[in-house]
Amino acid sequence: MDKIAKVLQGLTKKEKEIIKNILIQVKKKDFKNLDIKKLKSKDNIFRVRKGKIRIIYHLKQEGIMILSIERRSEKTYKF
């Protein structure tokens, strides 16, 4: 089982719904009302913040690649 699937299993139903809606918006490139920030010293890597949930993704020409979905902690931004 990959890391993202494992994290999703530990989230509440409400958190999963929030993540689903965020990913739909990001896929459509509809960034309105999302707290998105480019990570420093990273090339085309962004994070979306919603409460304690963080989604870190890599923006590519052919789409997005989800790198991490986590609750905020000290380890969140370490790859």
pLDDT in tens, 21-76: 999 998 888 888 999 999 988 788 999 999 888 999 998 888 888 888 888 766 65
The residue among 60, 74, 65, 54 whose CA lies nearest residue 7 is 54
Torsion, Cα of 51, 53, 54, 60 (10° steps): -110
Which pLDDT does position 18 carry in this prediction?
92
Which pLDDT does position 10 carry in this prediction?
86
For 44, residues 6+ apart whose C-beta sits below 8 A from its C-beta are 38, 58, 59, 60
The yes-or-no verdict on residue 1 having pLDDT over 80 is no
Q: What is the rounded CA–CA span in Å between residue 46 and residue 44?
A: 6
- Structural domains present in the chain: 3-71 (3.30.2310.20)
